[in-house]
Structure 1
Amino acid sequence: MAKSTFVYATYIRTTPQKLWSALTAPEFMKKYWFGMHCESDYTPGSSWKLVNDRGEVWDAGEIVEADPPRRLVIRWEHQMRPELKAEGASLCTMELVPAGQAVRLTITHSVEREGSKLVEAVSGGCPKILSNLKSLLETGTVAFEEPSRNTQ
């Protein structure tokens, strides 16, 4: 079966441990993800959900793999927009690789269908979220205060 895939890589001047914490700590996450945060204990088989600042669950799934601070894999489904939920599960893989005084963060989203609208939506919001993460870790402030249309 054909896949739709979105891959985003960035280098962040930080340590793998600090980046892992930024990717998994709800209160810190809210700072760069426009008030959104993830809830999970980040162990394989545990539940995972993305929640907005009003307590609405936008995405839900489970942790497939967790190898702190190197790799995190989440299988999830969108919950708010019926046309995106209908596409079924997406797989998000985050890989953290030390690169000198920085860490290369590669995030891959894939869906087992061609022309995925979910992957299209993710590709619209992910760059702003990750730019905010990079900026926050490196400078203490975010690059964008408001989300794009596709992030929420």
Structure 2
Amino acid sequence: MTDELVFETYIKASAEQVWEAITTSEFRRQYFFGSTVDADWRPGGRLVSHSPDGELWADNEIYECDPPRLLSHGWRSLYDPELAAEPESRITWTIEPQDGDYVKLTVVHDRLAAAPKTAEHIRGWSFILSGLKSVLETGSGLT
């Protein structure tokens, strides 16, 4: 069992565009299974996510917030009782501008040793990040 999953992708967009796609419902709905996001974007604030029909999917603490460079927050999925019973893991989004109008987006999902069911959902991150890249580069998401 791994305690950490790391995903990297390069996106033809500015750091500000990637930040907006991560932090606004307008973009998030297009690549994150139709979910919305509402947050108090500061350390100690809450990041709340709902399904397309309004079901509470997540309510997690924000650990670090440095727009448009870094966002770190808790992760506990509330839509499934087995996932909701696990302790909160952590997601860290790091956005690094690159030469040629690209950014390198690194997503680290860690603190997974005590959350094995959450760790099994690795395919979800691949889908989400592919969708995020598609939305920003083509204007069309996967969901």
TM-score by structure 2 length? 0.91
Check conservation: 1:111, 1:119, Cα contact below 8 A. no
Q: Describe the superposition over 1:28-66 as per-residue Cα deviations: whole angstroms up to 9, x where unpaired.
A: 211122311221021111111221101111122111100
TM-score, L = length of structure 1: 0.86
Whole-angstrom distance in 1 between the partners of 2:28 and 2:103: 18
Task: Judge conservation of contact 1:72–1:93 (CA < 8 Å) in 2.
Answer: yes
- RMSD in angstroms over aligned alpha carbons? 1.7
Which residue matches 1:6? 5
Aligned in 2, Cα 1:12/1:114: closer, same or farther, shift over 3 Å? same
Q: Could you tell me which amino acid in structure 1 is paired with residue 54 of structure 2?
A: G
Matches within 5 A, 1:75-90: 75-90=74-89
Runs of 4+, deviation exceeding 3 Å: none
Q: Confirm whether residue 95 of structure 1 aligns to residue 94 of structure 2.
A: yes
Contact 2:86/2:115 (<8 A) preserved: no
Matched-pair contact (CA < 8 Å) for 1:3–1:114:
no
Aligned to 1:138: 137
* Equivalent pair of 1:64/1:74 in contact (CA under 8 Å): yes
Structure 1 position 82, deviation (Å): 2.0
What letter corresponds to residue 105 of structure 2 in structure 1? L
Matches within 5 A, 1:20-39: 20-39=19-38
Q: CA deviation at 1:111?
A: 2.4
Deviation at 1:3, TM superposition (A): 5.6
Q: Is the 8 A contact 1:37 1:50 kept in 2?
A: yes
After superposition, where does 1:57-76 map in structure 2 within 5 Å?
57-76=56-75
Which residue type is aligned with residue 51 of structure 2? N
Match of 1:16 in 2: 15
Unpaired runs of at least 5, structure 2: none
Gaps of 5+ in 1: 146-152
Q: Secondary structure at the match of 1:11?
A: strand
In structure 2, the residue matched to 1:110 is 110
* Distance (Å, rounded) in 1 between the aligned partners of 2:2 and 2:37: 25
- Structure 1's 115 and 90: CA in aligned 2 closer, same or farther, altered over 3 A? closer
